[in-house]
């Protein structure tokens, strides 16, 4: 099955009442781990690449790895998503490359660090929506800012999403999906104790979902930072301080209230790093990269499988009849015409 649009996946997830994990990648082993977990659980999947990942892997390498994934796993609906696009130019380059979904993160200015004001966010996001929808490509926007820095992206400030602004933002931009700031954070060091629904401001998701029931909501910074993964790293020479991530049970509550895309990155990094440290410590004479990349891949696959089952996407790979980008572009054009004449 060729790459599909994220809008199609999220529409089906909405019908089925489940969420879809969006997993960040930088290399071959991560893609293999995600796709093996998707096949094992019969799940649709979103694979996403940040600007840093695109630079690290090189766009052409990354795209052809994704093409290989569609060939090897033809029954798995697969989205390639640009994570945290910092400008319309970045989103355009992703669309030109073949990404089927892009995020325009206008909550931050082009430097990826300075908060952008509401009007700036509306302007750049609307520009990307108009450009992307002409090609049938899905657009995710963001309103509010998360704590933490990941892959060089983030202001370090927490500005929770205002539900009133969320309604205006969606109406003025036409985004397909909205990332909301509810107190989650990028990176491993999210919380100093296990957060509850008040710390995570889950009421914001519930309120936005009431007002925007047809807009797919997105939770960023949603790795759970499992203690057992941190313990493996530290047992074999690492120095990760005690930290808590987002409990899976809270993500599941979000799914009940319109969250359809859940971003997971840190958990895969922790799983891979722990497995590599363990393999090298147990056999210090080994120097074949396969000796530590194979357990790293298996550790990531186990995490992805667990998240796919927890988010509810397992078993839903067969829900989809492929829509081409042109089909989706025609749909967007028709929707726009109907709005203009109503």
Q: Where in the sequence numbering do the catalytic residues fall?
A: 83
* Residue 49 near residue 30 (C-beta atoms within 8 A): no
- Rounded distance, CA 144 to CA 166, Å? 9
- Rounded distance, CA 103 to CA 10, Å? 14
Measured from the Cβ of residue 64, the count of other Cβ atoms closer than 10 Å reads 12
Who's near 88: CB < 8 A, 6+ residues apart?
104, 124, 127, 128, 131
């Amino acid at each position: 099955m060729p790459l599909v649009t994220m809008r199609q996946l999220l529409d089906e997830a909405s019908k089925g009442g489940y969420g879809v994990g969006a997993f960040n990648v930088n290399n071959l082993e991560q893609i293999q781990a995600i796709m093996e977990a998707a096949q094992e659980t019969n799940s649709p999947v979103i694979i996403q690449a940040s600007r840093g990942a695109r630079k690290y892997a090189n766009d052409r390498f990354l795209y052809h790895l994704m093409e290989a994934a569609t060939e090897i796993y033809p029954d798995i609906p697969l989205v390639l998503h640009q994570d945290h696009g910092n400008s319309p130019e970045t989103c355009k380059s992703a669309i030109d490359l073949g990404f089927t979904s892009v995020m325009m993160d206008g909550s931050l200015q082009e430097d990826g660090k300075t908060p952008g004001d509401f009007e700036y966010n509306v302007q750049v996001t609307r520009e990307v929506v108009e450009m992307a929808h002409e090609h049938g490509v899905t657009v995710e926007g963001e309103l509010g800012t998360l704590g933490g820095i990941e892959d060089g992206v983030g202001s370090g400030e927490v500005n929770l999403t205002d539900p009133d602004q969320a309604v205006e933002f969606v109406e003025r931009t036409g985004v397909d999906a909205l990332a909301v700031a509810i107190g989650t954070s990028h990176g491993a060091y999210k919380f100093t104790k296990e957060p509850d629904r008040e710390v995570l401001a889950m009421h914001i998701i519930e309120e936005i979902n009431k007002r925007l029931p047809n807009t797919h909501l997105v939770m960023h910074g949603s790795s759970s930072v499992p203690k057992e993964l941190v313990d493996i790293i530290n047992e074999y020479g690492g120095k990760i301080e005690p930290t808590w991530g987002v409990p899976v049970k809270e993500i599941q509550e979000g799914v009940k209230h319109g969250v359809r895309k859940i971003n997971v990155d840190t958990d895969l990094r922790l799983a891979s790093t722990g497995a590599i440290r363990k393999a090298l410590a147990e056999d210090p004479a080994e120097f074949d990269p396969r000796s530590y990349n194979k357990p790293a891949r298996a550790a990531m696959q186990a995490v992805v499988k667990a998240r796919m089952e927890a988010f509810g996407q397992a078993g839903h790979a067969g829900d989809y009849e492929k829509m081409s980008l042109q089909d989706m572009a025609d749909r967007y054009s028709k929707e726009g015409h109907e709005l203009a004449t109503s």
